[in-house]
């Protein structure tokens, strides 16, 4: 049995007070504070009715839970306050746009019949108190070729015009994007265009659109894409396409068709547990990404955390930078504020904690040896040559992954890694954030007392420094 004091609960990754968490929602910087809402099912760790739970932060690493902001209490959202995003209006008020989910009682497939996906808006002057809900769009307002699945609004402005991007499933089960346009105060919307890029399966969820450096970026979560050996290995995917100076509003179907292809789709994260991210702009202009460290409908589970009455967390907040055709992701620099005791590690030994930030550097950049990190004899992370390719692999050796086995990705030779471990989650940032691998990890399945930490083994040509991490998440007692 695990030591009584042992818990899998995360210390610096946003998690549900109890019950279930999925997508981040409404992430924004507003009036001096960061707000992250999340899809929340407080009743059970297995998921259920969806609310918006709320965290705030002054610095993107110390978060305080603020309770539930939005509940399914109207006919147009009675079966779930689904995902959405925030927009700050020119009069300084905060607007939240979300999908109201409705399941009509009856014998329906709930894809082409029986479901309502409505766009709903609430506004606020302070980020804590909200107006009455306004129903803005219903399924009858969307193009006729779409099924009932049209959700997860993202809003932006170009000149005098506002745009809303929604993820959609066509009636014949092809995934696409729906662009709506508003020329008033974002109350009335017209259809601007639909777009169904080739090869992305039956549904696109949680679309995003933003500018990073000199690139317009479109991001979404396709469902129904075939797995490949070294990419696209989860049941559902999450990634982005760099559009250059092409825009969703101004480019022809042909231009978008050439740009948005599976080949040019880069996954945000190559681990087992990543989905439905969203981006927002920090106070100083950095583009920040936060993702759900989980995937719906996957074959692996989280039995150890479910036993404690909760499931899933977010990733840490990541800052984005575009260079050489990819977006690099690194933990927000503020994460250093949570660094406590620092220790230099040798190449074999014990990391005396299960909550740490570990920085590994290859000492000689001339070295072409394989890299292998072994944690606790139950997980390895390797970067190896396979013929002409270099492959990173994350492998569970026993059931410390509760069904997780292997994830692989083509990459550059190993130069460095930053590894964030937070009791039951591991985020591996490879080569200055060129790739990230996020996974749940339950070392030893709680069979031994892990208070002592994790055994590790590293190649001799690497140096490693670890910092014990302090707690960033505060959940006040009710
Ligand atoms: C993505 C998603 C969204 C939906 C929400 C419901 O994980 O399926 O498309 O709005 O979760 O919780």
Ligand 1: atom nearest CA of 206 is: 9
In angstroms, rounded to a whole number, what is the distance separating the alpha carbons of residues 359 and 100? Answer: 43
Joined together, the tokens standing for residue 18 give: 């109890």
N-term to C-term CA, the chain: 30
At 90 the pLDDT is: 97
Probe residue for ligand 1, chosen from 41, 221, 276 as the CB with the greatest number of ligand atoms within 8 Å: 276
Q: Strand pairing partners for 266?
A: 240
- In contact, 275 and 267? CB cutoff 8 Å: no
Q: How high is the mean pLDDT in each 10-residue block of the chain (478 residues)?
A: 70 98 98 99 98 98 98 98 98 98 98 98 98 98 98 98 98 98 98 98 98 98 98 98 98 97 98 98 98 98 96 98 96 98 94 95 84 95 97 94 97 97 97 98 69 86 96 94
Contacts 24+ apart (CB under 8 A), 302-309: 302/402, 302/424, 302/440, 303/402, 304/8, 304/402, 304/424, 304/442, 304/445, 304/446, 305/8, 305/9, 305/45, 305/424, 305/440, 305/442, 306/45, 306/46, 308/7, 308/8, 308/9, 309/18, 309/19, 309/45
**Residue 393 CA, ligand 1 centroid: distance in Å:** 29
Ligand 1: atom nearest CA of 39 is: 12
Residue 342: which of 202, 161, 470, 437 has the closest Cα?
Answer: 470
In angstroms, rounded to a whole number, what is the distance separating the alpha carbons of residues 127 and 114? Answer: 34
Burial of residue 298 (number of CB atoms within 10 Å: 0-12, 13-18, 19+): middle
Hey, what's the torsion of the CAs at 223, 229, 230, 232, to 10 degrees? 0
**Residue 112 CA, ligand 1 centroid: distance in Å:** 17
Among residues 23, 273, 357, 378, the one annotated as catalytic is: 23
pTM: 0.97
In angstroms, rounded to a whole number, what is the distance separating the alpha carbons of residues 164 and 119? Answer: 10
Residue 270: which of 158, 345, 381, 129 has the closest Cα?
Answer: 381
Burial of residue 107 (number of CB atoms within 10 Å: 0-12, 13-18, 19+): exposed
Bridging pattern class, strands 313-314 and 326-331: unpaired
**Residue 224 CA, ligand 1 centroid: distance in Å:** 15
At 2 the pLDDT is: 41
In angstroms, rounded to a whole number, what is the distance separating the alpha carbons of residues 216 and 194? Answer: 18
- In contact, 446 and 6? CB cutoff 8 Å: yes
Active site residue 297: no
Pocket of ligand 1 (CB under 6 A): 22-23, 39, 50, 82-83, 99, 151-152, 205-206, 275-276, 296
**Residue 8 CA, ligand 1 centroid: distance in Å:** 25
Ligand 1: atom nearest CA of 82 is: 10
At 364 the pLDDT is: 80
In angstroms, rounded to a whole number, what is the distance separating the alpha carbons of residues 110 and 203? Answer: 14
**Residue 82 CA, ligand 1 centroid: distance in Å:** 6
What number of CA atoms fall less than 13 Å from residue 387's CA on the CB side? Answer: 2
At 310 the pLDDT is: 98
At 444 the pLDDT is: 81
At 451 the pLDDT is: 58
């Amino acid at each position: 049995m695990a030591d009584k004091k042992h818990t899998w609960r995360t210390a610096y990754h946003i998690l549900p007070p109890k019950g279930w968490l999925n997508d981040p929602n409404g992430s924004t910087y507003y009036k001096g504070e960061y707000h992250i809402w999340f899809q929340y099912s407080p009743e059970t760790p297995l998921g259920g009715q969806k609310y918006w739970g709320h965290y705030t932060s002054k610095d993107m690493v110390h978060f305080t839970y603020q309770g539930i902001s939005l509940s399914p209490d109207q006919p147009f959202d009675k079966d779930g306050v689904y995902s959405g995003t925030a927009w700050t209006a020119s009069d300084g008020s905060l607007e939240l746009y979300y999908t109201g989910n409705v399941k009509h009682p009856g014998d329906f497939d709930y894809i082409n019949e029986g479901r309502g996906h409505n766009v709903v808006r609430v506004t606020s002057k302070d980020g804590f108190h909200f107006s009455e809900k306004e129903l803005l769009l219903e399924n009858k307002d969307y193009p006729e070729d779409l099924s009932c699945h049209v959700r997860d609004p993202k809003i932006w402005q170009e000149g005098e015009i506002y745009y809303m991007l929604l993820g959609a499933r066509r009636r014949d089960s092809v995934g696409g994007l729906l662009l709506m346009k508003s020329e008033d105060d974002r109350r009335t919307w017209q259809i601007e265009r639909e777009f169904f890029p080739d090869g992305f399966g039956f549904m696109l969820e949680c679309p995003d659109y933003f500018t990073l450096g000199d690139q317009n970026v479109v991001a979404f979560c396709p469902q129904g894409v075939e797995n490949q050996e070294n990419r696209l290995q989860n049941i559902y995917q999450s990634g982005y396409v760099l559009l250059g100076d092409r825009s969703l509003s101004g480019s022809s179907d042909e231009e978008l068709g050439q740009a948005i292809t599976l080949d040019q789709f880069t996954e945000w994260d190559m681990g087992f547990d990543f989905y439905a991210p969203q981006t927002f702009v920090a106070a100083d202009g950095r583009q920040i990404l936060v993702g759900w460290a989980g995937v719906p409908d996957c074959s692996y589970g989280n039995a150890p955390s479910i036993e404690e009455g909760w499931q899933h967390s977010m990733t840490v907040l990541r800052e984005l930078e575009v260079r050489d055709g990819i977006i690099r992701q690194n933990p927000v620099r503020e994460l250093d504020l949570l660094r406590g005791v620092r220790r230099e590690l040798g190449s074999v030994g014990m990391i005396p904690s299960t909550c740490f930030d570990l920085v590994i550097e290859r000492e000689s950049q001339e070295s072409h040896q394989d890299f292998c990190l072994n944690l606790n004899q139950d997980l390895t992370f390797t970067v190896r040559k396979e013929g002409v390719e270099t492959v990173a692999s994350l492998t569970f050796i026993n059931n410390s992954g509760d069904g997780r086995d292997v994830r692989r990705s083509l990459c550059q030779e190993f130069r460095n890694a930053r590894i964030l471990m937070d009791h039951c989650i591991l985020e591996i940032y490879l080569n200055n954030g060129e790739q990230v691998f996020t996974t749940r990890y339950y070392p030893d399945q709680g069979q031994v007392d892990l208070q002592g930490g994790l055994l590790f083994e590293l190649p001799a040509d690497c140096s490693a420094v670890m910092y014990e991490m302090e707690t960033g998440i505060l959940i006040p007692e009710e």
